[in-house]
Structure 1
Amino acid sequence: MPGIPGMQLEFGLTVRLWSHTMNNIPSPLSIRNVNNSSLTSGSYPGAISDFYGLPTNPICIFKTGDAWPVRTGPEAQRVPTEARPICNHPIQDVWPTLGEAVYNFLDSLEVRWSTIDPVRFAEQGGKAGPLYLWIGVVPAAADGCKKILAKAQFPDVEIAFRKSIFTRSTGPLNHVPFIDPIADIRNPFTPSLGVQIAPRDTPHYEGTDALYLRESSQSDRVFLLTARHVALPPPAHDNELYERKKTRKRAYEVLILGSKAYTNALENMMAKIGHDLIFVDTYKRQLEALGEVAEGEDIRITAARRDLQGMLAKAKETIVDINEFHGEIAEHWTTPSQRVLGYVVYAPPIAVGTGPKRFTKDWALIDIYPEKIDWNTFKGNVVYLGNKISLPDFVLKMHPHPEGHSSFIYPVSGLLRVKGVVEEDEIRKPKLLDANGEECILVIKNGKTTGVTIGRATGIESLVREYGEYGIQRTSMEVAIYPYSHRDGAFSAPGDSGSIVVDGQGRIVGLLTGGAGTTESTDVTYITLYASIEEGIKEAFPDSYLYD
């Protein structure tokens, strides 16, 4: 890596690598001797402050090097930290080899690590610091960390550990016009992307659909792409190729809305009615206080009365609409058999480190029963942007910098059409700038758990490690997505697996496969680039293509 002298790389663990050629990658790794008791005593002073502000506030078990700033005084607050993506960086060209050298080094020291993320950190709104390799270790790995310090005899490496676990996040349908006052309530029962699905035989395993594809121009079959661990969750299903080509083979059906998602949808209806009943009562009392129209009254009172009357009418209308919709759902969606969407037609075994890019293979195709969708109103691959993020905020978030060259236009229908694929070169060297003036690709997804979120994709792949029974390990490359900002929360959570991730133009970036963090939320979301998934789909169905 000539030309990058003094570049700091953090292993989450925080590891400093100095400029060397690729021929001697292992030799520059050196570890500064520190007090081993610090790793297990809980006495590290930055344990709860170094990564404070990230969605799960991960614990920094130990970190050497310069201390990060900590405010002091009786009213001092911790300094929030943001993770910033890395794009268009010289390390990209050598990262596959360098990353492998790093995790082989950790494996040789028996450290059970979970993720390695190239990332930079900054105080909220501040300038990003140097490049880090941020390595998460499973909580039981503290003893392994001690072994690193005991066995390695090198002088120039800063070390810190964070706790982190990688997890794989687990009537006919018709679209709803965006002007519908209960569009958010209806959306889980529509065919827009982000539909919540679950296996019929294990309905508590829930996830999100990804994309619609046609089998071919001569076929009427429409497939739905999702994550395999959502459609055929382990350990209920053996990890082997499944294809529905023999009629004697059991059809594994998939539901729209598993048991929990269906219950949540009904509870959301009742909660919305409850809220609007409170609003109705409030508006009525305010109107009573204003009194009847009086000749010569203040025009501000007249305007306020008119606004309250409009809000009262809207709240009453919403209550009526939800009650009617609830009746439809109770009649046509109550039993699992009424919510069957289709069956698994093809699912290769889950594999990691596959192909030249070593991405994860975790996808399945669902053959949709034709009668389950109103094809006259079907709009194909569209992402419902919803009301979780208001229209003005959405537009401003997608245009964060005056020189960022964003081409995002909020769709009038509220449905972002999915078309095209973001090429890998653009992910590595994007032209878009975030609010901090740093290069990134802003991405969008609509998932089962967290709904619509906006995040920032990084240009250098992360390494992800999973451990199975008997110590078997699997390592893969993933593209990392970081939260939009410190204030916006996690990009995803468990249950969002299978979501398609797109950019502001609706171009596909990848399929959400999991995330890393210490709680039910995630600090980093991981996706597999769609190009690698498409290769596998084309092998099984050569004439397939995205539903237009």
Structure 2
Amino acid sequence: MADNDSEHLGQLLDSYPAAITDFFGSGGFCIYKTGPAWPVAPPNAQKLIRAARPYNNPEKAPIWTQVLKSIAAFLDSLEVEVQLTAIDPLAYANVGEAKLFCNFVVVISVNPHTLAYQDAVAAAPGVLAILENAGFYDAQVAFVEALYRRRQVKFMGFNPNFELEGIANLRKPFTPSLGVSIALHDKPHYEGTGSVFVRLSSDPSDKRIFLLTCAHVAHPPPEFENRVYSRKNPSQPRENVILLGDKTYKESVDDIMKMIGEETMSISTWEASLGRLPAQADDEPAGLTGRRQELTNLIAIAKMKITAADELHTAVTKYYTFPDCRNLGFVFYCAEIGVGKDGYMYDWALIELDVDKLEAGSFLGNKLYVGGNKTELDWENYMFPQLHDHHDFHVPEDLLLQLKDYVRESEFRDPQNHDIYDQKTLLAVKNGRTSGTTYGRVNGLESLTREYHNDGLKVDAFEIIVLGYDTKRGKNMRFSEAGDSGAMVVDRLGRLIGQLTGGGGPTDATDKSYITPYFKLKLQIEAVFKEFHLLPPRHGV
């Protein structure tokens, strides 16, 4: 920590001793919080790790966005500038515990080093008054230091059932399967994720396929003016989009070599163990025979994995090394990033795919791979953790979840899933470029986010948080990381929840990710493309 950061933290602690502990492991430093003190660990014990939990209030949902606007307007009216970055309605517990210690807190995030303790104390009563006037009588208010930021960061077929364990996850980045990693050909250091495959026409003769992503992925703001772009005719130059930007391509190739090295080391260990066993005898103990066979099988499987990984490495370095070889399609339409009339942030673009590069019969379409860094057992434990909530229980075949339909607004407000603590929530899953498959829980009310432009303009927008899924093992899992922008968040039935647009927090350790709900985004896209719809299952390429 830099000297000025250490000095700043010292000042926070002098004014508010719970500056670190209030949101430890889940958010930034707390400047001030109203209400009763939150529990802390005994002296010399490990700090309690906080976990943000969804807050659902179906009765108040219709008025909540107006409450958010009122809070933002009040903060903007103060003599002291409040550099607001987000307003989040949340509940809190300690990681690994079902019981909430705070049923409802409005967390007001501000740019670090910009709000003094005494100014936060002075502002809090006004926020509480707004909440109480709206009928939120049990609310607490917290001012924390946290940023809001938008996340940047013929092809192979993909069938995980045909691969040895571990090989499927190595192959996936080089395939056009959902969670696909993309970048502009001419700006390959700006990377993001494609969300779903769509069509823009109901005409069966129109074979075009489009990939939905974020506008800030298709046209990164540092490089492009924020305006509507449309490629209206073939004579316009193509803005090519490639599979895998520079960083992800290198990391994916390195992962193959890493696996080969690890399996080679394992073979050496197992061969040494096998060499220390006595010569096989007819009357040897069954356990000894079993151990010899176990080691022999482990060595044989590891050698097959090395062969498969080596073949994959040869293919990707031969056919995918240069960006031109990874052309996936081109930017067809890029919307202006901005706030709609309904107050929600919209940030979307469409990539038209080069359909002739998709391998007929092996293109998965809208099947989301929810494996890789997650297993069938993880799916059951986190997406269907309660026996009484198994009415729609299933494990996707080969962990490929077919996407269909979308979650309506009413289910955001009054969710029906049950999490590991048997709390009602909307459970979510996504596969992103950086963090792969992750599980989360969707908040029941909107957040207000604020971005600051270089010209001094402040932009407020409504978005919805997906919270990292803290576990009974005491680990607070991040739902997304930089480079996951554009990924589609879905429920356990494969229904679309929303498109990942950004994340909030002081570091990459944040457990809050922001989405534009699909029930809103769909209407925006349909206003431009009336026949917009998801690519249906079992289509032809």
Taking structure 1 as the reference length, the TM-score comes to 0.88
- Residue 100 of structure 1: aligned partner: 69
Deviations 1:148-185 (A, max 9, x none): 54578869776542111011111424223324021010
* Separation in structure 2 between the aligned mates of residue 330 and residue 280 of structure 1, nearest angstrom: 25
Select between 392-401 and 498-507 the one with higher mean Cα deviation: 392-401
Query: Equivalent residue for 2:132?
Result: none
Percent identity over the alignment?
A: 37
Given that residues 384 and 414 in structure 1 are in contact (C-alpha distance below 8 angstroms), is that contact kept between their aligned partners in structure 2?
A: yes
The C-alpha deviation readout for 1:351-407, integer Å capped at 9, x for no partner, is: 12x133x22110100011122211322121011122312221221111122333462
Give, in whole Å, the separation in 2 of the partners of 1:422 and 1:82: 25
- The answer as to whether partners of 2:34 and 2:124 remain within 8 angstroms in 1 is no
Whole-Å separation in 2 of the counterparts to 1:42 and 1:292: 71
Letter in structure 2 aligned against 1:141: T
* Residue from 260, 263, 267 that aligns with 1:280: 267
1:218 counterpart SS class: coil
| Residues in 2 aligned to 1:443 and 1:156: alpha-carbon distance in whole angstroms | 31
Per-residue CA deviations over 1:2-39 (Å, capped at 9, x if unaligned) read xxxxxxxxxxxxxxxxxxxxxxxxxxxxxxxxxxx996
Distance 1:262 1:151, change over 3 A: closer
> Which of 441, 453, 456 is 1:471 aligned to?
456
Counterpart position of 1:29: none
| Change in CA separation of 1:526 and 1:408 when aligned onto 2, cut-off 3 Å | farther
1:13 is aligned to: none
Q: 1:524: how far off?
A: 0.7
For residue 113 of structure 1, what is the aligned residue in structure 2?
84
The answer on 1:44 being equivalent to 2:16 is yes
User: Aligned partners of 1:154, 1:351: CA distance in 2, in Å?
Assistant: 29
Contact 1:39–1:142, Cα closer than 8 Å, also in 2 = no
Flag structure 2 segments of 5+ consecutive residues without an equivalent. 1-8, 130-139, 537-541
SS of the aligned residue for 1:53 comes to: coil
2:510 corresponds to: 522
Q: Shift of the alpha carbon at 1:251?
A: 1.8
1:175 aligned to which of 158, 163, 170: 158
State whether structure 2 residue 260 is matched by structure 1 residue 291.
Answer: no
C-alpha distance in 1 between matches for 2:127 and 2:420:
38
> Which residue number corresponds to residue 341 of structure 1?
328
Q: 1:90 aligns with which of 22, 47, 59?
A: 59
1:234–1:155 distance in 2 versus 1, CA, 3 Å: closer
1:302 aligns with 2:302: no
**1:59 maps to which residue?**
29
Write the letter of the residue equivalent to 2:305. Answer: T
CA contact (8 A) 2:91 2:105 kept: yes
What SS does the corresponding residue of 1:61 show, helix, strand or coil? strand
Residue 421 of structure 1 aligns with an amino acid whose one-letter code is Y
Residues 55-204 of structure 1 mapped to structure 2, 5 A cutoff: 57-74=27-44, 76-109=45-78, 110-124=81-95, 125-128=97-100, 129-143=102-116, 146-149=118-121, 160-170=142-152, 171-181=154-164, 182-204=167-189
Alignment partners' CA distance in 2, 1:149 and 1:137: 14
Letter in 1 for 2:40: V
Moved more, 483-492 or 188-197: 483-492
| Distance (Å, rounded) in 2 between the aligned partners of 1:519 and 1:547 | 37
- Identify the residue that residue 360 of structure 1 maps to in structure 2: 345
Partners of 1:263 and 1:68 in 2: CA distance: 45
CA contact 2:504–2:513 (8 Å) conserved in 1 = yes
The 2-side partners of 1:188 and 1:38 are apart by 45
Q: CA RMSD in A?
A: 2.1
User: 8 Å contact 1:404–1:434 — kept in the other structure?
Assistant: no
- CA 1:79–1:503: 2 relative to 1, 3 Å: same
CA contact (8 A) 2:128 2:141 kept: no
SS of 2:155 mapped into structure 1: coil
| Match 2:487 to one of 472, 480, 499 | 499
Q: What SS does the corresponding residue of 1:130 show, helix, strand or coil? A: strand
> Hey, what's the Cα distance between the residues in 1 that align with 2:517 and 2:496?
9
- TM-score normalised over the length of structure 2: 0.89
How far the C-alpha of 1:201 sits from its partner, in A, is 1.3
Q: Which amino acid aligns with 1:458?
A: N
Instruction: Read off the aligned partner of 2:223 and give its amino acid letter.
Output: A
d(CA) in 2 for partners of 1:267, 1:38: 42
Instruction: Give me the whole-angstrom Cα distance separating, in 1, the residues matched to 2:168 and 2:70.
Output: 50
User: In the alignment, what sits opposite 2:136?
Assistant: none
Judged with a 3 Å threshold, the aligned counterparts in structure 2 of structure 1 residues 469 and 494 are, in CA distance, closer, same or farther, namely same
Please tell me whether the aligned partners of residues 421 and 509 of structure 1 are also in contact (alpha carbons under 8 angstroms): yes
Closer, same or farther: CA 360–299 of 1 in aligned 2, 3 Å: same
- Per-residue deviation, 1:303: 1.9
Instruction: Quote the residue 1:311 is aligned against.
Output: 298
Shift of the 298–429 alpha-carbon distance from structure 1 to 2, 3 Å rule, reads: same
1:86, distance to aligned residue in structure 2 (A): 1.5
1: CA distance, partners of 2:315 / 2:98: 51
Aligned length: 506
| 2:539 paired residue number | none
1:268 paired with 2:268, answer no
CA distance in 2, matches of 1:398, 1:149: 40
The separation in 1 between residues aligned to 2:369 and 2:36, in whole angstroms, is 45
For residue 31 of structure 1, what is the aligned residue in structure 2?
none
2:267 partner amino acid? V
1:139 aligns to what SS in structure 2? coil
Query: Contact (CA 8 Å) 1:480, 1:525: kept in 2 or not?
Result: yes
Distance 1:350 1:536 in 2: 12
Of stretches 293-302 and 418-427 in structure 1, the one that deviates more from structure 2 is 293-302
**1:403 is paired with a residue of what secondary structure?**
helix
Distance 1:497 1:406, change over 3 A: farther
What is the match of residue 231 of structure 1?
A: 218
* Superposed displacement of residue 42, structure 1: 4.7
Partners in 1 of 2:509 and 2:199 — Cα distance?
34
Distance change in 2, residues 1:148/1:72 (3 Å):
closer
Comparing 342-351 with 176-185, greater Cα deviation is found at 176-185
